[in-house]
């Protein structure tokens, strides 16, 4: 039976959803409409895998920068050229594909910390400029991942990204 004198200012209330049932170990639930599905929980990449990917990428950037600077004959330009090449290389590949060539070799991918989607090139540029901050205080921003539960560095936290394993 309905209320014969409803309150005209009352807000209709949304039905509350029950909490999801427990899923299998190692799986996170994802809400879909009024139901739930379960997806494997991400495996965050560790320090050595990320360091290996970074070293491979730096070798690629260094060789490319040296070849380009060698063509121009200006050895003083190598540092600036490598900085610009590095930011472009990391930002374009991590933003649009989630992986650099080193990341592909090490089976790691940069994704949004909340959705797991690609971060896009503008956020990737910010993330890669923020790498400078991670290295400023004795590399503490890079080492931060050793005790962070999601293995995030400072530049990951700034860009709201995580690095996950792909294999």
Domain extent listing, the chain: 47-165
What is the per-residue pLDDT for 7?
Answer: 63
Instruction: Taking residues 157-162, report their average pLDDT.
Output: 95
Q: What is the 3-state secondary structure (H, E, C) of 50-88?
A: HHHHHHHHHHHHHHHHHHHHHHHCCHHHHHHHHHHHHHH
Is the pLDDT higher at 25 or at 155?
155
pLDDT 10s digits, 82-134: 888 899 999 999 999 999 999 999 999 999 998 889 999 999 999 999 998 99
């Amino acid at each position: 039976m309905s209320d014969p004198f409803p309150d005209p200012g009352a807000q209709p209330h949304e039905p509350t959803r029950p909490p999801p049932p427990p899923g299998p170990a190692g799986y996170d639930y994802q809400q879909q409409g009024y139901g739930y599905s379960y997806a494997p929980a991400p495996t965050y990449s560790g320090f050595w895998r990320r360091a290996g990917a970074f070293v491979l990428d730096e070798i690629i950037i260094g060789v490319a920068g040296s070849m380009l600077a060698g063509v121009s004959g200006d050895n003083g330009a190598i540092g600036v050229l490598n900085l610009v090449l590095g930011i472009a290389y990391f930002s374009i590949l991590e933003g649009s594909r989630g992986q650099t060539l080193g990341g592909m070799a090490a089976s790691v991918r940069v994704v949004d910390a909340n959705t797991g989607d690609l971060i896009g090139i503008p956020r990737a540029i910010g993330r890669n400029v923020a790498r400078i901050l991670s290295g400023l205080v004795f590399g503490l921003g890079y080492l931060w991942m050793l005790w962070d539960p999601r293995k995030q560095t400072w530049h990951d936290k700034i860009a709201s990204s995580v690095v996950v394993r792909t294999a």
